[in-house]
Structure 1
Amino acid sequence: MNTPAHLIIGLAAFGKPGRPRVTAAALVGALIPDLSLYLLAGGALAWGIPAERVFGELYYSPEWQAVFAVDNSVFVWGLLLVLGLWRGLPWLIAGAGAGLLHLALDFPLHHDDGRAHFWPLTDWIFASPFSYWDGNHHAGWIAPLEVVLVVGLAALCWTRFRSVWLRGLLAGLVAAQLAVGGVWAYVFS
């Protein structure tokens, strides 16, 4: 799924009106599994490395995959959730829950660009027959379903959260989701 979708879904599932720390943790937890990609790819692109090399070679390199394995590990996020439950920390429960939800949604929607979700036990990467962005793997019907889900959950969050800041963030995330979907449709049509 696209990152804006993960943020809206994480907010809908784990954000709590009137509990800004819990809500912020839900957003951060939903973001972290994608954050290393933004940092690595953004840094490489800023250094002038061509996008074809960044996404065609470096993304799949053992070094980058090792970083992705840590922040996309079900065991790392599960340990954080257990710690949050044990210590009674609602913010950690929300963050870890949103991180695990991110992984659960990514797992079936990455064909050849998945992550090692079961690190450190294995570096195995599931090659799903489906992709949220690649039209060769059913993105033509997955992407619209993602948009419907995101818009619906954003509307739900709009009614739950009264904060002007959070509503502005929601509007920005929906706009980003629609823009990214348009880019994928253009690139792979």
Structure 2
Amino acid sequence: MNTPAHLLIGAAVMGRKSTRPVVWAAIAGALLPDLSLYLLAGSALYIFGIAPQVVFDELYFSHNWQTIFAIDNSFLIWGGLFAVALWRGAPWAIALTGAALLHLCLDFPLHHDDGRAHFWPLTGWVFESPLSYWDRDHGAMWLAPVEAVAASLAAITLWQRRFGWGLLVLITLLLLAEIWIVRQWLFFFTDS
């Protein structure tokens, strides 16, 4: 699932009965499982000038990068943190960890050959789903529009909660980014 969709859905689900700070925490939590990818790929591409093909065909699948992805995409780590947040009763921590956990639940069935080791540190096993949110050969032509609709519904839900102009602008930008990304996946980034 695309990151903007994760942020919108995470905020809508984990910030449904909350204040602005809790919604911001949910947005942060929904971002955290993808943050290392942005930092690693962004540094490789824009600081070190490494070609995109090397970044996404080699470095992405390297042991070092996959280890980092396993840590920040671990059901065990996020589940444990979510349990602590529930035990402590801290709304912002529940929203943050819950949104991260929701991110993993949505990603798990939607990565064909680019998944993560979601059960680290117990195992390095990676589920290779028959479905992919971006790969047309694995259902993206129907999954991507469903994702865009889900993100749109989440955005509408968040707009209706009237959390203020800052969040309204961010939600609008995230929805526009989601629609643009889905368009790119469906019409430009394909092996077919």
Q: TM-score range by the shorter chain?
A: over 0.9
Asked if 1:95 is matched to 2:120, the reply is: no
Match of residue 32 from structure 1: 32
SS at 2:50 equivalent: coil
Contact (CA 8 Å) 1:17, 1:161: kept in 2 or not?
Answer: no
Match of residue 3 from structure 2: 3
CA separation of 1:18/1:149 partners in 2, compared to 1, >3 Å: closer, same or farther? closer
Percent identity reads: 54
Query: Could you report, residue by residue, the CA deviation over 1:48-87 in whole angstroms, capped at 9, with x for unpaired residues?
Result: 1000000000000000000000100001101111111111
- 1:13 Cα deviation after fit: 0.3
Contact (CA 8 Å) 2:20, 2:163: kept in 1 or not?
Answer: no
Match of residue 109 from structure 1: 110
For 1:37 and 1:109, locate their aligned partners in 2 and report how far apart those are by CA, in whole Å. Answer: 17
- 1:183 Cα deviation after fit: 1.1
Letter in 2 for 1:171: T
Match of residue 187 from structure 1: 189
What CA RMSD, in Å, does the superposition of the two structures yield over aligned residues?
1.1
For 1:40 and 1:52, locate their aligned partners in 2 and report how far apart those are by CA, in whole Å. Answer: 14
TM-score normalised by the chain length of structure 2: 0.95
Runs of 4+ in 1 over 2 A off after TM superposition: none
Query: Could you report, residue by residue, the CA deviation over 1:148-181 in whole angstroms, capped at 9, with x for unpaired residues?
Result: 1111111111101341110100110010001111
Match of residue 44 from structure 2: 44
Match of residue 161 from structure 1: 162
Match of residue 63 from structure 1: 64
Letter in 1 for 2:77: V
For 1:161 and 1:56, locate their aligned partners in 2 and report how far apart those are by CA, in whole Å. Answer: 42
Aligned residues: 189
For 1:16 and 1:147, locate their aligned partners in 2 and report how far apart those are by CA, in whole Å. Answer: 20
Contact (CA 8 Å) 2:32, 2:100: kept in 1 or not?
Answer: yes
Letter in 1 for 2:153: G
For 1:142 and 1:63, locate their aligned partners in 2 and report how far apart those are by CA, in whole Å. Answer: 30
SS at 1:124 equivalent: coil
SS at 1:83 equivalent: helix
After the TM superposition, which of the residue ranges 151-160 and 60-69 deviates more from structure 2?
151-160
Asked if 1:53 is matched to 2:54, the reply is: yes
For 2:14 and 2:181, locate their aligned partners in 1 and report how far apart those are by CA, in whole Å. Answer: 24
TM-score normalised by the chain length of structure 1: 0.97
SS at 2:60 equivalent: helix
For 1:162 and 1:23, locate their aligned partners in 2 and report how far apart those are by CA, in whole Å. Answer: 9
Contact (CA 8 Å) 1:44, 1:54: kept in 2 or not?
Answer: yes
- Gapped regions of structure 2 (runs ≥ 5): none
For 1:133 and 1:58, locate their aligned partners in 2 and report how far apart those are by CA, in whole Å. Answer: 19
- Gapped regions of structure 1 (runs ≥ 5): none
SS at 2:166 equivalent: helix
Query: Could you report, residue by residue, the CA deviation over 1:31-57 in whole angstroms, capped at 9, with x for unpaired residues?
Result: 000000000000000111000000000
